[in-house]
Amino acid sequence: MTTPQTVLITGCSSGMGRETALALHRLGHRVHATARRPDSLADLAAQGIFTYPLDVTDESSMTAVVAAVEAEHGQVDILINNAAYGLHMPVETASPDEVRAQFDTNVFGLVRMAQLVLPGMRRAGHGRIVNISSMGGRFSPPGGAFYHASKHAVEAISDSLRLEVSGFGVRVVVVQPGPTITEFGATAVGTMQRDPASESADPYADFRRELAAMYADRTFTRSKGAVSAETAARVVVRAATVARPRARYAIGTMARATMLAKRLLPDAAFDAVMRRNFPLPRTV
């Protein structure tokens, strides 16, 4: 029988975070699911999952949740850093506030959550931190600079952290999903759209529209290789619970194939692959 573990998961309002919370709860673990909108967790609470409001860009929110879980159970055994969103736009047109917001959620919030749970894990002599990265942590297409940069950062931070805390009995694991059928896709498409009134002065207006159409119609769909949230959650559960986890778990054929191509191909050849598969800005 599985020994119950105390699990804290960020970003459980939908998709992979929600399915991971449900799967771990069914296995008998003490699951603490969090989201910025607590009303989105009502059905999880009804099934016996502990729920909390948590904003990974707010220090007091993060501190309060970790303190509450530790007061109840002694320490967090497994942290799953899942909260994230995808900012997609040309580098030239992104505002500093938009870029900061991307890193606040995807990088700085993830780091702070790890910092908050690590003292308890060290005292207990065991623990696991699962950081949800992306296949995008290994390459960066046109329009994806800031989202992919945030996931590159998650990869680098996880590599350092894995070595730093292994001597305390803490394992750090990276999960790299490819396209997944969740609300993430719709959110990403939303960041590509701008006020139509400003488009006449935007040299990237056509590129934005083409990129949004590609993501909406061809990327986050099962027919193009996207996996379900349930399928992705099964991999996250394995990364969180297997006795001897690998450093990384890729999810989906597209993720594995694209990361392999990036590793093996010279830059010029991989750029050619990107040009064939993504729209590009162009002069009129």
Query: Alpha-carbon distance 120 to 117, whole Å?
Result: 6
Catalytic annotation, residues: 13, 133, 147, 151
- Assign 127 to helix, strand or coil: strand
Instruction: Say if residues 88 and 215 touch (Cβ distance below 8 Å).
Output: yes
Neighbours of 264 (CB within 10 A): 9
- DSSP one-letter code for 69: H
Question: Which residue, 61, 235, 6, 231, is CA-closest to 133?
Answer: 235
SS3 89: coil
**Alpha-carbon distance 186 to 212, whole Å?**
9
One-letter amino acid at 153 equals A
Please name which of 248, 265, 190 lies closest in space to residue 220, comparing C-alpha atoms: 190
Where do the DSSP E strands lie in 149-265? Answer: 170-177, 180-181, 227-228, 248-251
Structure tokens at 214: 């590609």
Cβ partners under 8 Å of residue 124, min gap 6: 74, 75, 77, 169
> Distance (Å, rounded) from C-alpha 250 to C-alpha 54?
27
Distance from C-alpha of 275 to C-alpha of 267, rounded to nearest angstrom: 12
Structure tokens at 29: 């673990």
Separation CA 210–CA 16 (nearest Å):
27
